[in-house]
Structure 1
């Protein structure tokens, strides 16, 4: 789990979180794409559409999964799955 200070309240990681991840893991994470049909966005949609877990917690608040999907421009796992299926390479 990533420390709270590296999480963006709207979903995903903030800039400091992406820099921390690069420093510790060596990966170069990029910002979320909320529109378009790039390979990155299609790949994200395919991966996160299949993630287990609820979209809301026990108090009715959106989970980190729901926030991440929203940040990438999807309102639900079903919407992300449909997008990925429509735009995947055949």
Structure 2
């Protein structure tokens, strides 16, 4: 039987996500809650990469989220996050 990841409820109202108007991403509190619940290691956005690793993370994020935004019916959050990360 495959392991299921825990579902984490994140809310704009509780300050765990940014609204679409402000860039639609997780806040530090949201990342901390998600990491604690799932054992993940989400990091802050890297819109202006300072290291080679950050540049690779940005390129990977832009590629993945670009596909999500293109396929979503109303990909407002995805498009806002692409803008926040300054993806081409």
Cα offset for 1:2? 2.6
Counterpart for residue 29 of structure 1: 42
Counterpart for residue 20 of structure 1: 33
Gaps of 5+ in 1: 56-62, 80-90
Counterpart for residue 17 of structure 2: 7
* CA RMSD across the alignment: 1.8
The alignment covers a number of residue pairs equal to: 68
Q: TM-score, normalised by structure 1?
A: 0.65
Q: TM-score, normalised by structure 2?
A: 0.66
Gaps of 5+ in 2: 1-8
1: distance between equivalents of 2:66 and 2:45? Answer: 16
Counterpart for residue 59 of structure 2: 42
Q: Which runs of 4+ in 1 moved over 6 A?
A: none
